[in-house]
Amino acid sequence: MYCIVDIETTGNGIKGNKITEIAIFKFDGKHIIEEFTSLVNPECEIPPFITGLTGIDNDTVRNAPRLQEISKDILRITKDCIFVAHSVNFDYNVIKNELDQIGISFIRKKLCTVRLSRDVFPGYRSYSLGKLCTSLAIPLENRHRARGDAHATVLLFSKILSTTGIETTLAKFLNARSQEATLPPSLPKTQYVRLPQKPGVY
């Protein structure tokens, strides 16, 4: 079972970043089983450039629940699921850090649809969610809102699961020690293996 997740936040980094919206689709590989979507009060000001990107401003989240108030929903729907997201380390670590701050442990296996897409759909100039959806004819509504991006990621992940040999690919990416699981999503493995192995000036 998988949980496809997308969050909107107050910034671009992981540390100190606060969630303003979260969407989670529980997915069995063929069908969406359950959905959870909520605005989140970050308890801090939302920068204007983020509002310009997402449309979420301070008034939007003023009466929204705090993360602590929806933490049980997040834990329940993601329990025993593989956490899937586009650039998964961002979404996963922001959620994990915020839950850690309120004393809640959050550990899930995870898969990145950026890295998976690079592996099963090679040759594209960009692997951003928007560009991939255009290239693969995947509908994407409400870009830069959690539900719209998460639902598009469900459709992308469904296409990934339909490719030949995907079981082997998933096993490789779920191996915590493999390069596929540890490399940054923007660094193709083909570039990594060409990097010099010895110190020096190149």
pLDDT mean across residues, the chain = 90
Read off the pLDDT of residues 27-45 as tens digits, 9 standing for 90 and up. Answer: 999 999 999 999 999 999 9
Quick one: three-class SS letters along the chain?
Answer: CEEEEEEEECCCCCCCCCEEEEEEEEECCCCEEEEEEEECCCCCCCCHHHHHHHCCCHHHHCCCCCHHHHHHHHHHHHCCCEEEECCHHHHHHHHHHHHHHCCCCCCCCEEEHHHHHHHHCCCCCCCCHHHHHHHCCCCCCCCCCHHHHHHHHHHHHHHHHCCCCHHHHHHHHHCCCCHHHHCCCCCCHHHHCCCCCCCCCC
Topology of domain 2-188, per CATH? Nucleotidyltransferase; domain 5 (3.30.420)
The model's pLDDT over 93-141, given as tens digits with 9 standing for 90+, comes to: 999 999 999 999 999 999 999 999 999 999 999 999 999 999 999 999 9
Q: Where are the domains of the chain?
A: 2-188
